[in-house]
Amino acid sequence: MSRAWIASPGAPLRGELAVPGDKSISHRAIMLGAIAEGTTRIEGFLEGEDTRATAAIFRRLGVRIEAPSDGVRIVHGVGLHGLQPADGPLDCGNAGTAMRLLAGLLAGQRFDSVLVGDASLSARPMRRVIEPLAAMGAVIEADDGRAPLRIRGGQPLRGIDYTLPVASAQVKSALLLAGLYADGETHVREPHPTRDYSERMLAAFGASCAFVPGEAAILGGFPLQARDVQVPADFSSAAFFIVAASVVPGSELLLRRVGMNPRRTGLLHVLRAMGADIVALRPGEQGGEPVADLRVRHAPLRGIEVPEQHVPDMIDEFPALFVAAACAEGETVVRGAGELRVKESDRIATMAAGLRVLGIRVDEAPDVATIAGGPLQGGEVDAHGDHRIAMSLCVAAQVAAGAVRITDVDNVATSFPGFDDLARGAGFGLRAA
Ligand code: S3P
């Protein structure tokens, strides 16, 4: 039986809090540390199920990874060609990032591998990585373009020049990782720039990787050199508190040292355009990434047309934005967001269903959602095993007139272990059902 929450209005959100480390950076730090020469110390590592799945996979591929304390990993790199075949399928759990990036990395090994995932991940589209990797010479079998992915090793890879049909940092990263093992240059072009953590980290580890927003190129054959990685707090996890403090009257919350990479912070532009009171304080740098403290105060919000250019920069924040929209005056229109339908759940459908139960009108088209702000009521809603849906509905419950029972919330631990304690500490009304 999966767990459920009962969420209801608590106190105004007050105080200071730090959310856990960035999921995208934590995955990549394990991967690059594993195939680098030397020892990589990771601080601020996200202790989530997704990132632990990645670490467990590399242990099975023969990499020694120590966990001396919470949030710290020491990865003893084996070099580009030092991974060993695992003794069975490699389980990515719920993590799309693990599966797609590993498809690229494992395509370049001399041994075969099989990648599997949970029910949600096994339903997500993998052709987007299989096809360009095949064009590089990789051999990957999958039924109907879905996991399990059976990756044949020992294939010579060659660099390609590839334009992504959809903006996807995961696909870009898979090709760059395969590009490490390819003959010549692998050049990836994007329809809209996406998060550039792979490029930044590859360059920092000494790969021959050049990049500008929307384009990245890597030359195969260069060894990676280990280096320490400091992981900033995950903006996507901060997003739930940013929206909660914006919509719960009387709130004033300070979120400490949040990752502010511009490819992640589209939600800030949109919330500010809706009237939110969010101030970035003490801007600085952590592990080569921009960070800041975010002070968020309650403010009345109004609905807007979300500018389409922000969509890729807030792709994981739409469930939270839907809640802000539900609390705003007037309509919020989201266009060009069809990618939301192939995330851990169909996030347009699952958020629309949840908000409708709470009394909010949401109209859907394949890549459009229109949310009409209004008063929220209590009820029973289903998170569909999607971590971000569970946390977003919990935020919605903080302004609902009655208690909200949220089912299927176990997967919150994939990206945000300890969310419930942190949320209660800030003032949320939230308990296990
Ligand atoms: C991620 C990229 C995004 C995002 C995911 C993490 C990454 O996916 O939704 O949570 O770490 O590269 P897409 O690149 O498929 O949009």
Task: Please give the pLDDT value at position 287.
Answer: 84
Q: How far apart are CA 82 and CA 78, in angstroms?
A: 5
Q: How far apart are CA 295 and CA 282, in angstroms?
A: 11
Question: How remote is the CA of residue 336 from the centroid of ligand 1, in Å?
Answer: 16
Pocket probe mutation, ligand 1, options 22, 23, 24, 100, max atoms within 8 Å of Cβ: 24
| Neighbouring C-alpha atoms within 13 Å toward the C-beta of 266 | 21
Q: 319 lies in a domain?
A: yes
Task: Please give the pLDDT value at position 267.
Answer: 98
Q: 389 lies in a domain?
A: yes
Cβ neighbours around 92 below 10 Å, total: 27
Nearest CA to ligand 1 atom 15: 168
Q: Do the beta carbons of residue 50 and residue 102 sit within 8 Å?
A: no
Q: Which atom of ligand 1 is nearest to the CA of 100?
A: 15
Nearest CA to ligand 1 atom 11: 24
Task: Please give the pLDDT value at position 2.
Answer: 87
Which of 209, 189, 185, 188 is CA-nearest to residue 199?
209
Ligand 1 cavity residues, CB under 6 Å:
24, 97, 168-170, 173, 194-195, 315-316, 339
Which of the 8 DSSP states describes residue 274?
Answer: T
Question: How remote is the CA of residue 251 from the centroid of ligand 1, in Å?
Answer: 30
Q: Do the beta carbons of residue 351 and residue 362 sit within 8 Å?
A: yes
Same domain? 69 vs 11:
no
Q: How far apart are CA 42 and CA 292, in angstroms?
A: 20
Task: Please give the pLDDT value at position 421.
Answer: 98
Same domain? 298 vs 370:
yes
Task: Please give the pLDDT value at position 1.
Answer: 73
Q: How far apart are CA 71 and CA 49, in angstroms?
A: 13
The total number of structural domains in the chain stands at 2
Same domain? 11 vs 124:
no
Same domain? 209 vs 259:
no
Same domain? 77 vs 15:
no
Point out which residues pair with 258 in neighbouring strands: 233, 292
Torsion angle (degrees, nearest 10) of CA 136, 141, 147, 152:
-70
Indicate the residue among 192, 217, 242 that finishes a domain: 217
Q: Which atom of ligand 1 is nearest to the CA of 195?
A: 12
Structure tokens of 54? 């990645």
Same domain? 159 vs 101:
yes
E strand or H helix at 49: helix 49-60
Question: How remote is the CA of residue 170 from the centroid of ligand 1, in Å?
Answer: 5
Nearest CA to ligand 1 atom 4: 316
Q: Which atom of ligand 1 is nearest to the CA of 28?
A: 11
DSSP letters of 379-420? EEEE-TT-HHHHHHHHHHHTTBSS-EEEE--TTHHHH-TTHH
Same domain? 209 vs 238:
no
pLDDT tens string for the chain (433 positions)? Answer: 789 999 999 999 999 999 999 999 999 999 999 999 999 999 999 999 999 999 999 999 999 999 999 999 999 999 999 999 999 999 999 999 999 999 999 999 999 999 999 999 999 999 999 999 999 999 999 999 999 999 999 999 999 999 999 999 999 999 999 999 999 999 999 999 999 999 999 999 999 999 999 999 999 999 999 999 999 999 999 999 999 999 999 999 999 999 999 999 999 999 999 999 999 999 999 888 999 999 999 999 999 999 999 999 999 999 999 999 999 999 999 999 999 999 999 999 999 999 999 999 999 999 999 999 999 999 999 999 999 999 999 999 999 999 999 999 999 999 999 999 999 999 999 999 9
Same domain? 288 vs 334:
yes
Same domain? 13 vs 27:
no
Question: How remote is the CA of residue 279 from the centroid of ligand 1, in Å?
Answer: 26
Q: Note the pTM of the prediction, 2 decimals.
A: 0.98
Question: How remote is the CA of residue 433 from the centroid of ligand 1, in Å?
Answer: 31
Same domain? 10 vs 63:
no
Indicate the residue among 160, 183, 217 that finishes a domain: 217
Indicate the residue among 190, 217, 244 that finishes a domain: 217
Same domain? 237 vs 178:
no
Catalytic residue numbers read: 316
Structure tokens of 155? 């294939």
Q: 223 lies in a domain?
A: no
E strand or H helix at 225: strand 224-225
CATH number for the domain that contains residue 56: 3.65.10.10
Which of 83, 80, 99, 77 is CA-nearest to residue 228?
77
- The answer for residues whose C-beta is within 8 angstroms of residue 286's C-beta and 6 or more apart is 44, 230, 232, 257, 259
Q: Is 204 exposed, middle or buried (0-12, 13-18, 19+ CB in 10 A)?
A: middle
Q: Which atom of ligand 1 is nearest to the CA of 166?
A: 16
Q: 46 lies in a domain?
A: yes
Q: 31 lies in a domain?
A: yes
Torsion angle (degrees, nearest 10) of CA 317, 319, 323, 329:
70
Same domain? 198 vs 248:
no
Range of the domain at 192: 23-217
Q: 227 lies in a domain?
A: no
Q: How far apart are CA 395 and CA 389, in angstroms?
A: 10
Q: 328 lies in a domain?
A: yes
Q: 397 lies in a domain?
A: yes
Nearest CA to ligand 1 atom 16: 168
